[in-house]
Homo-oligomer: A and B are copies of this chain.
């Protein structure tokens, strides 16, 4: 039994009272205190560590009297549970954390998706690690490695084009994976997307219904699944309307609004320009609108964009869009993940979240004959 020379001494452990908290002395003179542990709580409450654990974890088999003493000690010490220690020893291996791998956390679609996932995780007392891959396979690989070393319970991924060895590893350890905004790239994984192809053909059908037949397509990298699907939707939409595809009206692999602006200027400056545009990604829509405004054609050339953005209703004309429901995408992905974590053994499923055409003016400009 060590000799005690400070304010409080319990069973050989020394404590100093600071404000209303009792702080465990460290062995050196460093003023930062060691975090109180169950051992400290046990010492002050006069019970065993196991009894403290039972109280902290709300397990049965503790008398009321002892439970009250433990809770008083917890409050006195300001005890905080240590997740690392708990995770290391618990039988189910759960960490109450999930990973979320986005392209870019600042992107409006992904930040809305992130928030929806956080809200579902919150209901399951789970924290979210979020990371941005920038569609860079090396960065994504490293993020997945960092997440797997922390033994997260599961992961929701907007995958970049890359190998999935890191995700395979998690899956092998029984960690569920949900792909979002992309198809599942692994056999035993759920996925959630909007119906990009239907959205694409809806955009084309809408423009056709307003008299247009020379409809241009401006899309993102064709290697991105969503871009490829929207392109297919464009093709199917034309075919449904009996319109022959004009390759001069198809611009793919456009990255960013500046490239989109130039692509639009190029299109509209050609010999037989389109009378309508389908801009299959937000930044492309922005660039196209800049080009239309520059040419003062925003009231003459029709435009339907893919996905919505704040203020699009305030533009002149308002922008007609195929809107994605980011919150529902995120919520559905999270619910699928937590269903798996809850024991769901059903075959993997692919959930399609519908898009919605929002008519605001730009897509309702009729072809003038």
| A contacts, CB < 8 Å to B | 18, 21, 23, 32-33, 35, 78, 80-85, 87-88, 95, 97, 104-108, 111-112, 114-115, 118-119, 122, 125, 127-132, 139, 145-151, 169, 172-174, 286, 289-290, 293, 309-312, 314-316
- Known A84-B150, A97-B129; further 15 A-B contacts with Cβ < 8 A: A18-B172, A21-B172, A32-B172, A35-B173, A80-B149, A84-B84, A105-B118, A106-B111, A106-B112, A111-B111, A115-B132, A122-B139, A127-B147, A311-B314, A311-B315
User: For A107, what are the chain B residues with a Cβ–Cβ distance below 8 Å?
Assistant: 111
User: For A32, what are the chain B residues with a Cβ–Cβ distance below 8 Å?
Assistant: 172-174
Which partner residue on chain B sits nearest A99 by CB separation? B127
A305 CB → nearest B CB, Å: 11
- Of A21, A81, A129, A310, the most chain B CB neighbours within 10 A belong to A310
Shortest 7 CB-CB contacts between residues of A and residues of B: A111-B111, A106-B115, A32-B174, A311-B311, A84-B84, A84-B87, A105-B115
Taking a contact as CB atoms under 8 Å apart, the answer to whether A105 and B95 are in contact is: no
Q: A130-B130, A132-B118 are in contact. Are A95 and B106 (CB under 8 A)?
A: no
Taking a contact as CB atoms under 8 Å apart, the answer to whether B128 and A130 are in contact is: yes
State in angstroms the CA–CA spacing of A112 and B145 once bound together.
Answer: 24
Which listed residue (B128, B145, B172) contacts A33, Cβ 8 A? Answer: B172
Which listed residue (B21, B108, B149) contacts A111, Cβ 8 A? Answer: B108
Chain A residues touching B, majority SS:
mixed
A21 CB → nearest B CB, Å: 7
User: For A33, what are the chain B residues with a Cβ–Cβ distance below 8 Å?
Assistant: 172-173
Taking a contact as CB atoms under 8 Å apart, the answer to whether B127 and A128 are in contact is: no
Taking a contact as CB atoms under 8 Å apart, the answer to whether A286 and B310 are in contact is: yes
User: For A81, what are the chain B residues with a Cβ–Cβ distance below 8 Å?
Assistant: 149
Taking a contact as CB atoms under 8 Å apart, the answer to whether B83 and A150 are in contact is: yes
Which partner residue on chain B sits nearest A108 by CB separation? B108
User: For A78, what are the chain B residues with a Cβ–Cβ distance below 8 Å?
Assistant: 169
Taking a contact as CB atoms under 8 Å apart, the answer to whether A83 and B149 are in contact is: yes
Taking a contact as CB atoms under 8 Å apart, the answer to whether A127 and B146 are in contact is: yes
Which partner residue on chain B sits nearest A172 by CB separation? B33
A135 CB → nearest B CB, Å: 14
State in angstroms the CA–CA spacing of A78 and B166 once bound together.
Answer: 10
State in angstroms the CA–CA spacing of A286 and B97 once bound together.
Answer: 37
* 10 A-B pairs (CB sep. < 8 Å): A18-B172, A32-B173, A33-B172, A80-B169, A82-B149, A82-B151, A105-B118, A128-B129, A286-B314, A310-B310
State in angstroms the CA–CA spacing of A33 and B168 once bound together.
Answer: 13
User: For A146, what are the chain B residues with a Cβ–Cβ distance below 8 Å?
Assistant: 125, 127
- Of A118, A172, A311, the most chain B CB neighbours within 10 A belong to A311
Taking a contact as CB atoms under 8 Å apart, the answer to whether A104 and B115 are in contact is: yes
Taking a contact as CB atoms under 8 Å apart, the answer to whether A129 and B129 are in contact is: yes
State in angstroms the CA–CA spacing of A147 and B131 once bound together.
Answer: 17
User: For A21, what are the chain B residues with a Cβ–Cβ distance below 8 Å?
Assistant: 172
State in angstroms the CA–CA spacing of A314 and B285 once bound together.
Answer: 12
State in angstroms the CA–CA spacing of A114 and B128 once bound together.
Answer: 13
A351 CB → nearest B CB, Å: 21
User: For A122, what are the chain B residues with a Cβ–Cβ distance below 8 Å?
Assistant: 139
Taking a contact as CB atoms under 8 Å apart, the answer to whether B80 and A145 are in contact is: yes
A173 CB → nearest B CB, Å: 6
Which partner residue on chain B sits nearest A95 by CB separation? B84
Which partner residue on chain B sits nearest A310 by CB separation? B309
